[in-house]
Amino acid sequence: MEFELTKKQRDMKDALTQLGKFVIRPMSLQMDREHRVPEDFLQRFVAMAGSMRGSDEDVTAAFEDVKREPPSLDKPSQMNRTSLVGAEELAWADASLLLCLPGPGLGGPPIRGSGTAAQKAKYFGMIKDLEKQGKLAWGAYGLTEPAAGSDVAGIQARCRKDGDGWVINGRKCYITNGARAVWVVIFATVDPALGRAGHRAFVVEKGTPGFSVGKIEDKLGLRASETAELVLEDCRVPAACLLGGEESYAAKSSGFQTAMKTFDATRPLVASMAIGIGRAAYEHARDAVKDRYMLGRPIARYAAIVERLARMHRRLEAARMLTWRAAYMADVGQPNAKEASMSKAAAAQAAVKACVEAIEIVGAEGTIAKEDQLLEKWFRDIKVYDIFEGTGQVQRVVISKRILSDLKSF
């Protein structure tokens, strides 16, 4: 595995770091208090991202669907690794902004991986067409329910075939960009008793009768990002909205596997975001220690502080290597379910601990929100990274099952 970034990745990383330091961070607390990212800033960012893509297929593929050969060891992609590099830098600046960026979002991977050619053309085309008109457009991913999130097999939203279409009933919660998305990938089941075999995935467009937005959540962290409840009441969609088409569900658990494939792609991405926040907290604590202490003096407290900084740095570096490995495996077409879960579990824990230890090192000042003091915000933002995209406990279950997959009784 090659650890060196390509020149295009280094250039993108440097550009995002400068943008984060001089533009995003100064407006971070204001966005947090107002629970939104200014639309004019998002417009400028979309324009900048478009210029960064250029004609490079791998960089373009990190942002939108493109026709390409499946990746392999002989013909590796850079798409997933490019996404990770960008995600870490933007999260280092402000993770809420990253979640607010227009585009297919988490709805992109299931359509890219399981959708028909017509579905890919239609739904990615909707985003692109609106972007060309100078409008912001989002896609979204609707899996989590009030009683089923990490336990994907337990979803209760129901769907039934009715004539030449489907009728969906249920509620989805904690859906990022759910209220403003032009379409949402919705998971439902034909019968909860069937477990995974009953799962179906649909692309439901905004404005479909019976499809509405419930409440917008008021959250502990990531406040500038939109997190919505979605309600489906006798929501009728045509058969063409069934992701992958009817024949793709002949194999048992294909709907469930669509969700799992999405997680294999997005868990390393979420892990990189956590690392970005954890790195920001670590750097803040490191710089504070440099300013306040003469660490060369033989004082026990100083030695303890140095040890804590070293431990924070070590955990974050190890977590980054796990995320890059998971992304590399995806870029060469290798199954990465275990590695994706390992990266998510390790990165979330390392970043949460980094934020906690940073506040303990800095002291009371770390709990105060100021424009040049974002540690309090990072502390609020980081906790959800051990929860969404599958909790840390669920990641450890996935890892153990993969390790012990040859034991039928497990």
Q: Higher-confidence residue: 262 or 380?
A: 380
- Sorting pLDDT into bands at 50, 70 and 90, what band is 372? confident
Q: Are residues 148 and 79 in the same domain?
A: no
List pLDDT tens digits, range 314-327. Answer: 999 999 999 999 99
- The pLDDT value given to residue 295: 63
- Identify whether 2 is part of a domain: no
Q: What is the pLDDT of residues 96-143, one digit of tens each?
A: 999 999 999 999 989 988 899 999 999 999 999 998 898 999 999 999
pLDDT of residue 62: 41
* Last-in-domain residue among 235, 252, 269: 252
Residues 6+ apart with CB under 8 A from 230: 142, 171, 172, 173, 175, 178, 184, 186, 211, 212, 213, 214
CATH of the domain at 148: 2.40.110.10
Catalytic residues: 389
Position 255 scores a pLDDT of: 64
In a shared domain, residues 261 and 384: yes
Same domain (yes/no): 233, 293:
no
> The whole model's pTM is what?
0.91
Dump pLDDT digits (tens) for 198-208. Answer: 999 999 999 99
Predicted confidence at residue 68, as pLDDT, reads 63
In angstroms, what CA-CA distances link 280 with 55, 273, 404? 32, 11, 36
Note the pLDDT of residue 161.
Answer: 96
**3-class SS of residue 376:** helix
Q: Which of 70, 103, 136 is the last residue of a domain?
A: 103
Fill in the amino acid letter for 387.
Answer: I
- Average pLDDT on 231-258 reads 86
- DSSP E strands in 239-349: the ranges are none
More confident residue, 359 or 148: 359
Whole-number Å distance between alpha carbons of 36 and 74: 44
CATH code of 46's domain? 1.10.540.10
Task: Tell me the average pLDDT across 367-387.
Answer: 92
Are residues 49 and 17 part of one domain? yes
Span 256-272, pLDDT tens digits: 677 677 788 889 999 99
pLDDT at 360: 95
Distance CA 344, CA 326 (A): 10
Task: Give the pLDDT score at 51.
Answer: 65
Residue 93 belongs to what domain range? 7-103
pLDDT in tens, 25-80: 999 999 999 999 999 999 998 888 776 654 455 444 444 445 567 888 888 889 89
Domain boundary among 209, 233, 252: 252
170 neighbors 148 (Cβ within 8 angstroms): no
Instruction: Please indicate, yes or no, if residue 89 is contained in any of the structural domains.
Output: yes
| Number of domains composing the chain | 3
Q: What is the pLDDT of residues 278-291, one digit of tens each?
A: 999 999 999 999 88
How does residue 244 score in pLDDT terms, banded at 50, 70 and 90? very high
pLDDT-derived band of residue 410, with 50, 70 and 90 as boundaries?
Answer: very low
Distance CA 255, CA 262 (A): 11
